[in-house]
A and B are shown apart, each in its own frame.
Chain A
Amino acid sequence: NAGVMQNPRHLVRRRGQEARLRCSPMKGHSHVYWYRQLPEEGLKFMVYLQKENIIDESGMPKERFSAEFPKEGPSILRIQQVVRGDSAAYFCASSPRAGGAHNEQFFGPGTRLTVL
């Protein structure tokens, strides 16, 4: 059973470009969480999605950021018109059910976004 997959692992963008980060949850998991991690800091929650639904986006900036988790395919975190402050590691986690214990929430390896 493959773990949570994220790609690309590293992404370089120039200011103003778009960044698309993909997350494939573990098999059988229908809940996905996105987090952002700045250097030497803990993870900060951005958004929680179920298939085709955004459940909680309280941690996601209102502008330029969007997320989706379609019926088929990976979850996508999209950042439009990137700025240098968007440079960070973005992690997704998946779990098999809502509100599950955190030993059921597995993290992917992350995408490291660098904005030049």
Chain B
Amino acid sequence: GESVGLHLPTLSVQEGDNSIINCAYSNSASDYFIWYKQESGKGPQFIIDIRSNMDKRQGQRVTVLLNKTVKHLSLQIAATQPGDSAVYFCAEAGGGSYIPTFGRGTSLIVHP
């Protein structure tokens, strides 16, 4: 069936490096994508979103890239900090639905 999934379950990086977290989606009706950060013991926190009419969107230290041809989404974090350590989820919504479908998550570990 249609699904949203992540390539890597765990990503370890050194402080100061750039991090790239990837996500594949298969629902061609998806037109809205969101990245969330979830720290241990907390609820998800919105990071950045992108609509399907865009290829790239930048926030503070984060960039989301959308490749609709291969149905791929990525989150880039510049100058990763220990406080960025968390589980990152991509989620998609489409067809007018306001309810996001979450992927499994990638655990980002930042080593000082």
Bin the interface of chain B by size.
20 to 34
List, in ascending order, chain A residues with CB within 8 A of B99's CB.
33, 45, 48, 56, 59
Interface string of A98-116 (1 = CB under 8 A from B): 1111110111111000000
Within 8 A of B (CB), among A11-48: 33, 40-45, 48
Closest Cβ–Cβ distance, residue B16 to chain A (whole Å): 28
Known contacts A98-B98, A99-B98, A108 near B104 by CB under 8 Å: no
Tell me the number of A-to-B contacts counted with CB atoms below 8 Å.
Answer: 52
CA distance A107 to B104 in the complex (A): 18
CA distance A93 to B93 in the complex (A): 16
Q: A69 at the A/B interface (Cβ < 8 Å)?
A: no
Q: Are A40 and B46 in contact (CB under 8 A)?
A: no
Q: Are B105 and A101 in contact (CB under 8 A)?
A: no
Q: B64 at the A/B interface (Cβ < 8 Å)?
A: no
Known contacts A98-B98, A99-B98, A100-B98, A109 near B104 by CB under 8 Å: no
Q: B44 at the A/B interface (Cβ < 8 Å)?
A: yes
Known contacts A42-B102, A43-B102, A98-B98, A110 near B42 by CB under 8 Å: yes
Q: Are B104 and A42 in contact (CB under 8 A)?
A: yes
Contact partner of B89 among A43, A56, A93, A109, CB < 8 A? A43
Contact partner of A44 among B32, B102, B105, CB < 8 A? B102
CA distance A40 to B104 in the complex (A): 7
Q: Are A102 and B89 in contact (CB under 8 A)?
A: no
Q: Are B105 and A42 in contact (CB under 8 A)?
A: yes
A sample of 13 cross-chain residue pairs with beta-carbon separation below 8 angstroms, ordered by A number, consists of A33-B99, A42-B89, A42-B102, A42-B105, A45-B101, A91-B43, A91-B44, A101-B49, A102-B49, A102-B93, A103-B46, A106-B46, A108-B43
**16 additional contacts (CB under 8 A) given A98-B98, A110-B41:** A4-B43, A33-B99, A40-B105, A41-B105, A42-B103, A42-B104, A45-B99, A45-B101, A59-B99, A91-B44, A102-B34, A102-B93, A106-B46, A108-B43, A109-B43, A110-B43
- Chain B residues with CB under 8 Å of chain A are 4, 32, 34, 41-46, 49, 89, 91, 93, 98-105
